[in-house]
Amino acid sequence: MIKVNVHDAKTHLSVYLKALTRGERVLICKRNQPIAELRAVAAVNTKPRTIGWAKNKFKLKKAFFDPLPDPVLKAFQGHNP
């Protein structure tokens, strides 16, 4: 873990960002008291999601497509039952 004061963090931010990519953590202090911790975020998946991965895994009942009952519709519109 790298421990730096606020002034150093502002001055050398790019250096500390590179350290984050290597897996380091940066502890930012004010008057030698920790106030924040910088750490890398999880990598974002850049591959597109597969279409149709759940095909034939489950079936919807025909009743799923029936209109909702009036009390449920009114609840969606903000009316209390």
User: Which long-range CB contacts under 8 A does 21-30 form with residues at least 24 apart?
Assistant: 25/1, 26/1, 26/2, 27/1, 27/2, 27/3, 28/4, 29/3, 29/4, 29/5, 30/5, 30/6
pLDDT, tens digit (0-9, with 9 covering 90-100), for 17-37: 999 999 999 999 999 999 999
Query: Token pair 């919807």 is at which residue?
Result: 60
**pLDDT tens across 31-58, in order?**
999 999 999 998 888 888 888 888 888 8
- Expressed in angstroms, the distance from the first to the final Cα of the chain is 56
Burial of 38 (0-12, 13-18, 19+ CB in 10 A): middle
Q: Which domains are assigned to the chain?
A: 2-38 (3.40.1620)
